[in-house]
């Protein structure tokens, strides 16, 4: 249990973890209880719509909410690499996953995939790419392709490792 101050009111916080349900009870001069539950599709849509409504008050959308740019490379019928990415409503290309099967690495597949989505995104009006990787994954790969490191989280996922954040301007 944590006991501290919230504004001018002393607060006691009890956190109870039960399966996938987290109950948080905050006791002040007025008793209130909140429950954090696993989201269903309706809840996810409500959250997304709420955030989008807020965002659009500050910066109007420049395009569709999400334009997927997912690609796969096959050798015969076997998937040997792929990229999961897309353009958000402010025309930024977000690379979520780039993967190449281990025995197909260093053959240009990753470079081909990233260049393909960069070109497609640029043709659709995207101006910036952003992504993250780990130091043991593809940090050097992105740096060699003109990506600029803009941040990192040290000691994640374990001590000595880093999660690295990159960006790149798309100007041809």
Q: Indicate if 42 and 20 belong to the same structural domain.
A: yes
pTM of the model: 0.75
What is the CATH classification number for the domain harbouring 71? 3.40.630.30
Model pLDDT, residue 40: 95
Q: Indicate if 43 and 126 belong to the same structural domain.
A: no
pLDDT tens by residue, the chain, 172 residues: 333 344 434 444 443 443 444 444 544 445 578 889 999 999 999 999 999 999 999 999 998 889 999 999 999 999 999 999 999 999 999 999 999 999 999 999 999 999 999 999 999 999 999 999 999 999 999 999 999 999 999 999 999 999 999 999 998 7
Q: Indicate if 132 and 72 belong to the same structural domain.
A: yes
Domain of 35? 2-58
Q: Indicate if 32 and 81 belong to the same structural domain.
A: no
Q: Indicate if 9 and 35 belong to the same structural domain.
A: yes
Q: Indicate if 84 and 132 belong to the same structural domain.
A: yes
Q: Indicate if 147 and 93 belong to the same structural domain.
A: yes
- The end-to-end CA distance of the chain, in Å, is 56
Model pLDDT, residue 26: 46
Q: Indicate if 7 and 77 belong to the same structural domain.
A: no
Model pLDDT, residue 127: 95
């Amino acid at each position: 249990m944590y006991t501290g101050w919230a504004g001018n009111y002393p607060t006691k916080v009890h956190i109870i973890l039960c399966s996938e349900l987290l109950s948080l009870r905050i006791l002040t001069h007025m008793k209130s209880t909140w429950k954090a539950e696993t989201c269903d599709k309706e809840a996810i849509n409500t959250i997304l719509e709420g955030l989008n409504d807020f965002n659009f008050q500050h910066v109007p959308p420049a395009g569709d909410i999400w334009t997927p740019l997912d690609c796969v490379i096959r050798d015969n019928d076997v998937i040997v690499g792929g990229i999961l990415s897309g353009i958000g409503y402010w025309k930024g290309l977000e690379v979520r996953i780039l993967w190449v099967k281990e025995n197909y690495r260093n053959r240009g597949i990753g470079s081909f995939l990233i260049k393909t989505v960069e070109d497609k995104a640029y043709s659709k009006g995207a101006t910036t790419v952003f992504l993250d990787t780990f130091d043991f994954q593809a940090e050097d790969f992105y740096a060699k392709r003109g990506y600029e490191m803009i941040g990192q989280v040290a000691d994640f996922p374990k001590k000595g490792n880093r999660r690295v954040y990159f960006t790149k301007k798309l100007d041809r």
